[in-house]
Structure 1
Amino acid sequence: MKLRVKVDYKTYQKLKEVEEEYREVLEEAINYGLVNKTTSFTRIKSGVYKTEREKHKNLPSHYIYTACEDASERLDSFEKLKKRGRSYTEKPSVRRVTIHLDDHLWKFNLEKISIAVKRSRVFISPIFPKIFWRYYNTGWRIASEARFRLLKGNVVEFYVIFKRDEPKPYKPKAFIPVDLNENSVSVLINNKPVLLETNTKKITLGYEYRRKLTTTGRSTKDREVRRKLKRLRERDKKVDIRRKLAKLIVKEAFESRSAIILEDLPRRTPELMIKDVKDSQLRLRIYRAAFSSMKNAIIEKAKEFDVPVVLVNPSRTSTVCPIHGTKIVYQPDGGNAQGLVFVRRGKRGGIGTWLRCTT
């Protein structure tokens, strides 16, 4: 969380003194790491602490610790860039300094922030934005470390870091099977099948028809043609639908403490599905349905909420339960059988069938 506070001249000068001495310690720590070919914080600190403590007697000692941590991070980042051939200098240069603070160098409360300087402390009173209160009031806690840097005009840019305690292990009490189809997503919630329409077919064909009308007899490099094609926004519409559906499914699973069951689709799913399809329009629809993208959107959103996702092999799921390995019994009267509910995909992306295994 970045906060900008304008302070008085006296406070700014005290922080400026800290910045100048912090820069000197940082440069010495970087040089020590380069000479001794190390990026280890403990080795850098043990090598420079005694010397720097004698040089900067009035500077709080923990600034030397944090400067060594800063040097370790910079050297580690420089070594990674150097291995990839993206370093343009022989050693990392210190151009801008952001001062690291540990729990001994700053104290926080909602009225003011206290920062240790040479032989005293200074106080700043920031105005917290709405996003600060959103995190502060929803279970996040302020970490013991922080950072600040000085800007022109007596402005201090302060960085508050939020952390959340490790969540309790998620123990699913139920399962929500999800079937991804071309024009809909089928889910089972509280033993009731729900069909969520996506209108992907309409979006795909509408875009294709308009694209043909726009490009007939004209080059796609034409500026006016490119402008019209950009305004169709097929990709944006589909991405928006996938994100909304993923959030809807994952939130339902999170609130009911359920795990999500998805088909473990192969990499080239569209190519495999259209292999034996001769209808050009159907091939286009299946290829642009983006089944894997929908699956990935659900998995990514599930990670945010720590909801477990179970991937099952879709092969032979119309006859054998992928969880229990037992044969599926179809009720001739359409009644309910006992066991786990799951769903299979139609061959061409059609709506799957809700089934129950014999277990």
Structure 2
Amino acid sequence: MLRRAVAVELEATRELNKLLHSVETAYLNIVREVVEYAVKNNVTSANQLYELFYSKYRLEHQDLNSQLIIQAIRQASEIAKSFMERRRKGLVSKPYPEVRRVSIRFTEDAWSYDQFVKSVAPVRVELSLLGGRREVWLRLHKRFWQYWWRVLSGEARLASTLVVKRRLNKWYAIFAFELKPREEEPRSIVAFDINENTVAVGRIDIETTVSKVADWNKQYLTPQLYTIKTDFGRLARRYERVRNAIIERLKPGFTLPSGKYANITNTREFRKRVKRLRERVRKVGRVRHVANELTKTPAIIVTEELGNNPQEEMIDGIGKDELRHRIKQTPFKALEKAVEEKALERGSKIFHVSSYRNSRVCPIHFTKLERTDDWHTLKCPLGHYVDRDYASVMNMAWKITPESWTKGVWWNMKNLNKNMNWREYEGESNPMIPHPIVHHLHATLREFMASLEQSPAVLARGKPMNPARGANEGWARKPPRPLGRGGGQEVCK
């Protein structure tokens, strides 16, 4: 099951605003006290914390719904586990986590869940606040109605937990929808390769390839090769210059008596200025743009197996600090996960193949490519030039073919590279590409140009459709993570 969260603004009157603030204050105090006790005494079990604190807070907050007290204790347990795990890894320096804000979790018994799901067009909810239940009207928008139509048609289900949070003095109700993965007939085969500033894409249309149209016009057998501009590397370089300028501007105020400077990156003034740069928001917008572009139609999506931490493998042996920083800032795994989730939502299937020599072998003759003066352009020993990004996506596509001999030779080559004799296969032609279109493919690979129609422009700043940023609440964007990793968004390490 997939999970998607939608934030809807509440029409909060002055009286309702005071009640929500009172509930938030009580909820926050409970979370802070329980977190401090859990970290100090190394007690992270939610059941143990419930036995220790429920009776106490039930007497102190008699007007507060009991389910809210239980959820506050559970949320504190998640925050404590997350903090202690990060402390074991040496990622925090403070003795206790600073819980600055919380999201109030209303379970099925604390809001009108049954009445809400039975309605065809729900426009209001009832929340259990101080003194009883209060009716709250919703300011619904297009994104909510899109998912609600799926609920009515049986393609999705509304989660029973409702999250209410405050942002910029506005209150939002966050609904979590559990979606059923769609099953669609694939229309194309898409292979993509993630680079520093671009995403190389190779698309093969199945309908025109297997039908009589291919016999009538051979040009439809040629894969569509284009790139999607992301500029992750240029973005990292730009923000690095901005951060260095901020550090130089703040240096005079943090001079030590010895003449040296304090660590300015750990100061409040530096964090206050850096958080306005919106670097993460720009990256998220570009990641979602690429995921949406690759999954427009149901397809078989092929990509490389990146591993758990691809950046560490890529920077191994690189001595230039600027290049290492740019590689570390490229969101390889975030982009891969976004494509996987969007593919399941739209009926596509994604496959991972070995990354062994994808960009170093000619996709036509399977010969090892030779280097040239241009890093992106390689030369085949048989006399033509190949762009290494397009060679990578083509070789990934050939690795999933079930009938050709390339599967027996190239499939899982990462584990067979020690016994591979390259000279045995050099000069062999690829049976998946008919010979009459080889010359046409040569010209395509040499162009290295992305069509404007297939490569739409990327906005400088991409904002999610949800009014409240961070509305996913971690657990609501996808299936719940293992215990001990939740609550990270509510903590400042």
Is 1:116 the counterpart of 2:197? The answer is no
Unaligned runs of at least 5 residues, structure 2:
1-5, 117-121, 192-200, 215-219, 228-285, 302-342, 373-377, 412-426, 436-493
Contact kept? 2:400, 2:407, Cα under 8 Å: no
How far apart are 1:240 and its partner, in Å?
Answer: 6.8
Q: Within 1, Cα distance between the matches of 2:202 and 2:75? A: 52
Is 1:271 the counterpart of 2:360? The answer is yes
Contact kept? 2:127, 2:135, Cα under 8 Å: yes
Question: Which of 46, 53, 57 is the aligned partner of 1:48?
Answer: 53
How far apart are 1:289 and its partner, in Å?
Answer: 0.9
1:269-327, Cα deviation, whole Å (9 max, x unpaired): 2224475456956445152314348849x9xxxxxxxxxx9675965569x9x9xxxxx
| 1:119 to 1:102, Cα distance in 2 relative to 1, 3 A | same
Aligned pairs for 1:229-268 (under 5 A) are 243-244=293-294, 247-250=297-300, 264=353, 266-268=355-357
Q: Within 1, Cα distance between the matches of 2:61 and 2:30? A: 9
| 1:269 to 1:294, Cα distance in 2 relative to 1, 3 A | closer
SS in structure 1 of the partner of residue 83 of structure 2: helix
Aligned pairs for 1:266-345 (under 5 A) are 266-273=355-362, 276-277=368-369, 282-283=379-380, 284-292=385-393, 295=396, 315=405
Q: Within 2, Cα distance between the matches of 1:95 and 1:157? A: 18
Match of 2:29 in 1: 24
SS in structure 2 of the partner of residue 81 of structure 1: helix
Unaligned runs of at least 5 residues, structure 1:
205-235, 299-308, 323-345, 355-359
Q: Within 2, Cα distance between the matches of 1:84 and 1:348? A: 51
Q: Within 1, Cα distance between the matches of 2:127 and 2:434? A: 64
TM-score (norm 2): 0.45
Q: Within 2, Cα distance between the matches of 1:349 and 1:96? A: 59
Match of 1:144 in 2: 160
1:239-259, Cα deviation, whole Å (9 max, x unpaired): 9799558845349x99xx998
- Give the residue type in structure 1 aligned to 2:164: F
Match of 1:39 in 2: 44
Question: Which of 11, 19, 36 is the aligned partner of 1:14?
Answer: 19
Is 1:352 the counterpart of 2:364? The answer is no
How far apart are 1:38 and its partner, in Å?
Answer: 2.5
1:66-96, Cα deviation, whole Å (9 max, x unpaired): 0012112211221232233222421111211
How far apart are 1:62 and its partner, in Å?
Answer: 0.8
Contact kept? 1:264, 1:311, Cα under 8 Å: no
Contact kept? 1:107, 1:113, Cα under 8 Å: yes
Question: Which of 174, 194, 212 is the aligned partner of 1:159?
Answer: 174
SS in structure 1 of the partner of residue 81 of structure 2: helix
How far apart are 1:57 and its partner, in Å?
Answer: 1.7
Q: Within 1, Cα distance between the matches of 2:71 and 2:291? A: 46
Q: Within 2, Cα distance between the matches of 1:26 and 1:183? A: 50
- Give the residue type in structure 1 aligned to 2:204: V
Contact kept? 2:209, 2:221, Cα under 8 Å: no
How far apart are 1:263 and its partner, in Å?
Answer: 9.8
How far apart are 1:130 and its partner, in Å?
Answer: 0.4
- Give the residue type in structure 2 aligned to 1:82: R
Number of residues paired by the alignment? 274
How far apart are 1:18 and its partner, in Å?
Answer: 1.3
| 1:199 to 1:179, Cα distance in 2 relative to 1, 3 A | closer
What percent identity do the matched residue pairs reach? 18
Contact kept? 1:263, 1:312, Cα under 8 Å: no
| 1:191 to 1:147, Cα distance in 2 relative to 1, 3 A | same
Larger radius of gyration: 1
Question: Which of 37, 60, 64 is the aligned partner of 1:59?
Answer: 64
SS in structure 2 of the partner of residue 104 of structure 1: helix
Q: Within 2, Cα distance between the matches of 1:84 and 1:279? A: 41
- Give the residue type in structure 2 aligned to 1:249: A
Q: Within 2, Cα distance between the matches of 1:270 and 1:39? A: 47
Contact kept? 1:263, 1:314, Cα under 8 Å: no
Match of 1:210 in 2: none
Q: Within 1, Cα distance between the matches of 2:389 and 2:143? A: 38
Aligned pairs for 1:188-227 (under 5 A) are 192=211, 195=220, 197-198=222-223, 200=225
| 1:69 to 1:312, Cα distance in 2 relative to 1, 3 A | farther
Contact kept? 1:263, 1:311, Cα under 8 Å: no
- Give the residue type in structure 1 aligned to 2:128: A
- Give the residue type in structure 2 aligned to 1:130: K
Q: Within 2, Cα distance between the matches of 1:250 and 1:131? A: 27
**Over the residues paired in the alignment, what is the CA RMSD in angstroms?**
4.7
Match of 2:86 in 1: 81
| 1:276 to 1:292, Cα distance in 2 relative to 1, 3 A | closer
| 1:47 to 1:350, Cα distance in 2 relative to 1, 3 A | same
Q: Within 2, Cα distance between the matches of 1:242 and 1:59? A: 43
- Give the residue type in structure 1 aligned to 2:142: K
How far apart are 1:112 and its partner, in Å?
Answer: 1.0
| 1:264 to 1:52, Cα distance in 2 relative to 1, 3 A | closer
| Larger RCO: 1 or 2 (CA < 8 Å, sep 6+) | 2
Match of 1:4 in 2: 9
Q: Within 2, Cα distance between the matches of 1:151 and 1:246? A: 33
TM-score (norm 1): 0.60
How far apart are 1:98 and its partner, in Å?
Answer: 1.4
| 1:10 to 1:61, Cα distance in 2 relative to 1, 3 A | same
